[in-house]
A and B are shown apart, each in its own frame.
Chain A
Amino acid sequence: MAVVRPFDKLPALNSAAVLLVGSDESLQQKLAEAILKEKKNFKISIHLATSLPLPSERDHLRPRIDLIAFMIDIKSKYSLKNVEASLAHVDASFFLGKVCFLVTGVGRVNYCSVEMNAIWKLGEVYCSPVLYCELELEGIRVATAQRLLRMLQICAGHIPGVSALSFGLLMRNSADE
């Protein structure tokens, strides 16, 4: 089982690949469909995984991954644990702006079983932005898909003058500025 690396493959022309990692597959699927529905001017491939590492037998089929979004459900401790375990299988250079945490379940804070602080810390430790959303709601799902797409475009280098690293720095809560 291989560690995912951001630069071990050549980028394909006018295309981008995003990897969604999360235990709730139905939400994952819905989000992926929402991303596909958005208008975009490049080829996209969305890879869904419940956890990392990715099975190595598919390594040769997989394009270069431009962005990894880890999905955490605040209603499920398991989802956080799963993400924490998966993070170990990500190459360190991914954390230079090509990872984000997608926290869903914000609409049911009363059923929250995950320490919000833990999620916030995760973002700090891994230098990656944390986006909050409620994927159960269609409207928010679409908005989230759009935001992910924008990040993906930057991470794939489609926006001249903005690199994933510089964007990642912008997105960080600049407490230490």
Chain B
Amino acid sequence: MDETVAEYIRRTVLKIPRDEIKSMLQTWGFLSETQLQTLNFHQTKDNISQDVVQLCEDNSADIKQAAVLDIIYNHIYPNKRIWSVYQMNKTGEETDFFDLTDFKKKFKRRLQSALKNVTINFREYEDNAIWIRIAWGTPYKKPNQYKTSYVVYHSQTPYVFISASVLRSTLPLLCQALVVASNYHDIREMELRSHCLNSLKDIAFKRYSQTFQTYYPRPLQERNVAPENVDLRIIQENRSEKERIQRVNREVFGDGPQPKLEFAQYKLETMFKSNPKMDVLDIKEPFRCLVKFSSPHLLESLKSLAPAGLADAPLSPLLTCIPQKARNYFKIRERKGFFPGSFVSP
């Protein structure tokens, strides 16, 4: 067995939390049940990884198998990577029947024709998702197994979730291969990024709850009334205002849990507006600045701003449009004739 493969397997095992090592190895299925039984999972992770490598040595594992283990790990822990959503377009209305083997073949051929050295692995999951792992090399260099790209493609949708390799130059090639293999015409980045792959899927597939569709006034009101009036001596003067905030908030954000995003970024290229008495106004150059909102759970925190009394309800549509627009990177430019601050898609 190759030295690098052994090392790669060892490191992958080290990444897995100790009590999940066994189940992941079972999912992997490369080591037989009897082999697994010989493993002692109660020693240090370092030792476990050595033992696993030893067993793999016995089975003479190659990089393909090692890569599968990596896919399994990434499938369970997709939050370790940052994902970006891409959308593909077709020109005509031709409805192709998606053929997986065809897709794989085309995809592989495209990449391998450009780069000789590249490791490509596929793994299908039950939700129609195809996980693709690509380790990149050059015609003269072996693929770097530690700087991989990941692609999650749902064959029935035009959306692709890409966690790009640190080798940025590989991205165009990857996109090309995807378009070709899936019979699309072109691909564009949707400017939607997060660590949470599932939330990205929720947004892209419009799976998160929207209130204007599902509006339940009654249970909500009951929920509101219950915690208040603990003491009759405390009187809430703005109850109706609070209810309005609740309602507005519900309309904007819905009832259910929000998809998880970590940041939203707004690049402003607008003119500086100021008091006409000040001279700064004369500058015709746009006033450039970057506003970045970050939070472990951005949309939930935006949602709780108004009820917590930290902002007026409703919030600016710039902030609330994130799930609808399916993007969290914006560029705000001056638009002639329109009111300032309106944003345009690039």
Q: Which one, B230, B237, B312, contacts A54 given CB within 8 A?
A: B237
Q: Is the CB of A26 within 8 A of B308?
A: yes
Q: Is the CB of A46 within 8 A of B310?
A: no
Contact residues in B for A26 (Cβ distance below 8 Å): 308
Q: Is the CB of A46 within 8 A of B240?
A: no
The complex places the Cα of A26 from the Cα of B307 at a distance, in Å, of 10
Q: Is the CB of B237 within 8 A of A24?
A: no
Select from chain A the residue with minimum beta-carbon distance to B241.
Answer: A50
Q: For this complex, into which size category does the number of interface residues on chain B fall? A: 10 to 19
Contact residues in B for A45 (Cβ distance below 8 Å): 233-235
In the assembled complex, 10 residue pairs joining A and B whose CB atoms fall closer than 8 Å, in A order, are A19-B237, A26-B308, A33-B234, A45-B233, A45-B235, A46-B233, A47-B237, A55-B240, A62-B235, A78-B310
Confirm or deny: A103 has a beta carbon within 8 angstroms of a beta carbon on chain B. no
Q: Which one, B231, B240, B241, B309, contacts A24 given CB within 8 A?
A: B309
Q: Is the CB of B308 within 8 A of A58?
A: no
Q: Which one, B234, B240, B310, B312, contacts A48 given CB within 8 A?
A: B234
Interface secondary structure of B, over-half rule: loop
Residues in B lying within 8 Å of A, measured CB to CB: 230-231, 233-238, 240-242, 307-312
Q: Is the CB of A25 within 8 A of B234?
A: no
Interface residues of A in 1-55 (CB under 8 A from B): 19, 22-26, 29, 32-33, 36, 43-51, 54-55
Among B235, B237, B307, B311, max chain A CB count under 10 A is at B237
Q: For this complex, into which size category does the number of interface residues on chain A fall? A: 20 to 34
9 closest cross-chain pairs (CB), A and B: A23-B309, A49-B237, A47-B235, A32-B234, A46-B234, A50-B238, A24-B309, A25-B309, A54-B237
B128 CB to closest chain A CB (Å) equals 44
The complex places the Cα of A19 from the Cα of B234 at a distance, in Å, of 10
Q: Which one, B230, B234, B238, contacts A55 given CB within 8 A?
A: B238
Q: Is the CB of A50 within 8 A of B242?
A: yes
Q: Is the CB of B235 within 8 A of A55?
A: no
The complex places the Cα of A36 from the Cα of B234 at a distance, in Å, of 9
Q: Which one, A22, A46, A78, contacts B235 given CB within 8 A?
A: A46
B308 CB to closest chain A CB (Å) equals 7
Select from chain A the residue with minimum beta-carbon distance to B305.
Answer: A78
Contact residues in B for A29 (Cβ distance below 8 Å): 234
The complex places the Cα of A54 from the Cα of B241 at a distance, in Å, of 10
